[in-house]
Structures are given as structure tokens and as C-alpha cells.
Structure 1
Amino acid sequence: MILIAMGVSGAGKSLIGEMLAERLNCPFTDGDAFHSAANKEKMHHGIPLTDEDRWPWLKTIRAAIEEKQRAGETAVFTCSSLKRSYRDVLRAGDKDVCFVYLKGSMEVLRERLGHRTGHFFDPSLLQSQLDTLEEPGEDEAVTESIELPPEQIVDNVMEKLKTR
């Protein structure tokens, strides 16, 4: 099984992804590690990424997913996965890939981004991410509110995964 914690910046993908990986006793990989230096530079300067910027990044994450699968490993990744077409690249028709959508209000997201330090993402890009976001349906993802405590989010996801 491959889980991908998804959502806009500030949704808590890394925290929840790390907690899920710990619960599943499996590797965790932050999708941000696969961004090119050029992508990181654009985001640092408040320039939204285009689809052309994202395709190579998404394909690199998919290659890492396939590597984990070839090794027979369960793994947790993070990736904003904002559009269904992006999720399609990451999923590649693979039923073993499950998205965990971390959904939150603009107010909570802004507050979180305002307190974050040491990250390349310019908080001014939040609106462009929300504008790009195509929320996944029940057929695509397990959805959890980021307004719940992190431990509760992980408990809920683990429970929902039993019925998938």
C-alpha cells in the first residue's frame, strides 16, 4: 500500500504523513524533496508553478512509488496533488495508491503558514493553490479535516483504510 498525504501548503501533509508512516512502520518521503531547484526558487519568490513545472516533479514521485512497490514496501509520501490529472500521474491506474486529503479552511491555512519558518513556499501562493485545487471525491481519497488534532486525523485515516 502506498499512501499520499495531499492538500495545499499548510494542511499538515508532512506531520500527518510522518505520523501515518510511524503507525504503519514504513518509510516516509516528503514530495517536496523531489522538486527541482528551479521550482523551489519560483515558489520562494512567490511565483506559482505551472503544469509544465509540475509534470517532471510528479513523474519523479511516481518513479519513487514504483521503486517502493518493487521492493514490496508499504510507504507514505506527501504531495499537494492539487488536480485530478496530477493524482492520475501519481496513481498511474494503480489501486495500491491511496490519497489522504487534508482539507482545511483558508483561515486555518493562513494561520499555519504565518507561523511556519524555514520553508521555501511563499505564503502568498496559498490562494493560487486553492484556485488550482480540484478536491478529490470519495472515489479518490480519504478526506480528513485539518481542524482535528493530528492524532485524531491519523486514527480516522487508519480506521477508514480498513474499509477501502
Structure 2
Amino acid sequence: MGGLAIIIMGVTGSGKSTIGTLLAKALDCNFIDADDFHSAENKEKMHNGTPLTDEDRIPWLEAVRDAMIDYIIKDKIVVVACSALQPKYREILLLADPEYALDSYDSNKKTKPISFSSNGGRQHAKSLFSRKVVFMCLQASAQLIASRLDIREKQGAHFMSPNLLQSQIDLLRIDDTEDIFLLDATLSPELITKNIQRKLSEFQLLS
């Protein structure tokens, strides 16, 4: 199958790092936390409750993408925890797949590839897709995530202010044309991890 980057996405507090760490252990592969790629300036903004701008995010996403490329071209699997809230942000990460990067510039492509869809069916893709960069989105109620963030803040376990939750919820957008697996983040981390593994196997994304 070759290289594969599995991106665990969602708003702050949805459990990206927890699930990403467990999944990487289950798959015996490396784990990347996109938070580690933020500049000191970005971290200071988020700590103070100031939402990042696209100007702040783009260099960060490009750095995460470049780290993913290193694994994909070496035919390795990597799990990545990254918010990736908007289609335009995910597009940057998708360019880690060299085949996607080439196809995205091929305006003469006459047929669409067969895509895997988040509801478990198969369909002709409405847009280009990648089998080397896949997205798993953790979803839960704002109330549940807020309670998690309160605990995390008391523990001093993260630099991001809980006050940014609503801005992230407002920013999150998933288009119907995208192939994103939606995951119930209210389940136990162990069950979520098994659900991801089942999806990866179902669509033959693991070698």
C-alpha cells in the first residue's frame, strides 16, 4: 500500500492527541502532534484566547504537511493530531500525497476516481481525493468538550485557552464533497481507536 498519513481532526478538546497516541501505538507507527509545530507567537496568541488568522495557520500547516511527506515518501504510516478545521486547511495537508498533488493540477482529467465515503458506502468522487492522507473527525457536544477543557486548564496540560472553543466550533466546516470519517468522540478512547482501525481495514487503507 505504501505511505499513509492518518489525520485525527476536530476542535480543541475533542481528544485528538489521546486518540492519535493510542492509534499510533495500535498500528506500531509514529505519532505527530501538530501543536508541536506552532510558533511561539501562535502559542502565545492561543494562550491569551486570541484566535489564529490564516496568516498564522498557513506556515504551521505547511510545516505539518512537510513532516507528513517524509513518512509518505518512505512508505511509512504516521498518525497526525491536527485540528484541520476548514477545507482549505485540509487541502494543504492533502498535498503531502504526491499523487493528489499531481491530480489536483490535471485539468484534463476526464474521469473521477472511485471514493470511499464517511457513511460506509462507495461513490464516484465529486472531487479529487487521496488514499495516502485520510481524515478522521472527532465529534461531540460543545458542553462535553467544554467540560474536558475545564479539566485540562486546571491541570495546566495545554497552552490553548478554553475560551477559543466557540471560535473553533464556528470555524469547523466539512463539505459534502470531502471524504472524511466522522467519529463519536463520546465513546471510550479504546473503542474510538478500534472504530478507526475497522474503517481503515474496511477501505483497505492499511497494507
Question: Could you state the TM-score of these two structures normalised by the residue count of structure 1?
Answer: 0.96
- Classify 1:35/1:153 alpha carbon distance in 2 versus 1 (closer, same or farther; 3 Å): same
Paired AA for residue 69 in structure 2? E
Do 1:68 and 1:74's aligned partners in 2 also have CA atoms closer than 8 Å?
A: yes
The verdict on how the C-alpha distance between 1:137 and 1:146 changes in structure 2, with shifts beyond 3 A counting, is farther
User: Are residue 161 (structure 1) and residue 200 (structure 2) matched?
Assistant: yes
Quote the offset at 1:138 in angstroms. Answer: 8.0
- CA distance 1:159–1:136, shift in 2 (3 Å): farther
TM-score, length basis structure 2 = 0.76
**Is 1:15 aligned with 2:18?**
yes
Greater shift in the superposed pair: 92-101 or 115-124: 92-101
Mapped contact 1:101–1:136 kept (Cα < 8 A): no
Structure 1 or 2, whichever has the larger Rg, is 2
Measured in 1, the distance between the counterparts of 2:59 and 2:175 equals 22
What is the CA RMSD across the aligned residues, in angstroms?
Answer: 1.3
Structure 1 residue ranges, 4+ long, deviating more than 6 angstroms after superposition: none
| Percent of aligned pairs sharing the same letter | 43
1:54-93 mapped onto 2 (5 Å cutoff): 54-92=57-95, 93=100
Shift of 1:160: 1.0
**Number of residues of Structure 1 aligned to a counterpart in Structure 2:** 164
Q: Deviations over 1:65-110 (max 9, x none)?
A: 0011122211101110000110111012343011110011101110
Q: For structure 1, which segment, 139-148 or 6-15, has the greater mean C-alpha deviation from structure 2 after superposition?
A: 139-148
Deviates most, 81-90 or 133-142? 133-142
Gaps of 5+ in 2: 101-129
Report the Cα distance in structure 1 between the residues aligned to 2:179 and 2:167, rounded to whole angstroms.
22
2:37 maps to 34
Contact 1:5 1:77 in 2 (8 A): yes
Higher helix share: 1
Q: Determine helix, strand or coil for the equivalent of 1:81.
A: coil
Deviates more, 1:128-137 or 1:27-36: 128-137
Partner SS state of residue 186, structure 2: coil
Report if aligned partners of 1:42, 1:49 keep a CA contact under 8 Å in 2. yes
Q: Look up the equivalent residue of 1:84 and give its one-letter code.
A: P
Q: Pick one of 144, 147, 155 that aligns with 2:186.
A: 147
